[in-house]
Amino acid sequence: MPERAELEFDPKNHIASVVKAIRILESFDRETPEVSLPELVKRCGYTRTTTYRILDTLELAGWIERTTSGDYKMTLRVFELASSVLGSFDLRTEASHVMSDLAARYDENVYLVVPDGARAVCLDLIESSRPVRVMSLSVGRSLPLYIGGAPLALLAELEEALLPRVLAAGHLRTPVGNEMTEGELREVLAETRRRGYAVSLEDVTPGVAALGACVFDRSGRAVAGLSFGGFLANFAEPRRGEMASALVEGALAISRRLGYQGRPL
């Protein structure tokens, strides 16, 4: 396994045992899917006792298992985790053409986000060609689910599962200093469902608006949010309605590429 550059360990911010466990997991590869305890000690540089204790813990958690020969190998839990990541990349690939088309037609930022606990993480972004940039969310960054176009669309669709996490995370306060009650948020989510898409007006950044619609997988579950974002002045009617229709159609096109065939009756 190729050596990686060592990062400086800060005991205030890092947990040594977690770093060691990850290093042991990374010692397994395609060429050696089964590794003995002595070999792991050699590869990782930890004592035999430390290596054994970490392996025992990983086995208890279901990430490692013993073979009939007494060696160790990773379980399917690792494959399941990798599959979820690959699914995100498949989503990004399937969405890229639609995002490019929407960006070219309306020259606004187009975002693709996925839910992550009480937040929504930006998976991809196509920026507009306007000389003044509107960057409320960049790739890899996140927003609370109760603000922004795509996050609101996701929360409205997955309210039963995700709203408790949002409420448990603390006050419903926006970056611009506004605060809403749970009842007000529920009303926004209900209106979003009735409308069929989310509308965000200056709740993330002053002077900036967004629209959001959900992307569904083959089971009919919302897995991502697609959104427009740009200056508020560019989201006035009737352009807002036209953009919303195009966004909903674009989200549906991505959904169909993921195997979505409509809601089950």
Q: Report CA-CA distances (Å) from 56 to 3, 14, 24.
A: 25, 21, 12
Distance of alpha carbon 207 from the chain centroid: 26
Q: At 121, which amino acid appears?
A: V
Q: Return the percentage of the chain with pLDDT > 90, whole number.
A: 59
Q: Which amino acid is at 96?
A: S
Q: At what angle do helices 149-157 and 182-195 cross, to 10 degrees?
A: 90
What is the reported pTM?
Answer: 0.67
Segment 117-131 shows an average pLDDT of 88
**Distances 146 to 117, 149, 199 between C-alpha atoms, Å:** 12, 9, 11
Q: What is the pLDDT of residues 28-73, one digit of tens each?
A: 877 788 999 999 999 999 999 999 999 999 999 999 999 999 999 9
Of the candidates 224, 203, 216, the residue with the CA atom closest to the CA atom of residue 255: 216
Note the helical H segments in 65-224.
76-106, 149-157, 159-168, 182-195
In tens, the pLDDT along 176-229 reads 777 888 899 999 999 999 999 999 998 888 889 999 999 999 889 999 999 999
Q: Which residue has the tokens 């966004």?
A: 247
Q: How far apart are CA 193 and CA 46, in angstroms?
A: 54
CA torsion angle 136 137 138 141 (round to 10): 140
Give the mean model confidence (pLDDT) for residues 115-139. Answer: 82
Give CA–CA dist 56/64, Å, rounded: 8
Q: Which domains does the chain have, with CATH numbers?
A: 16-74 (1.10.10.10), 84-257 (3.30.450.40)
DSSP state of 136: S
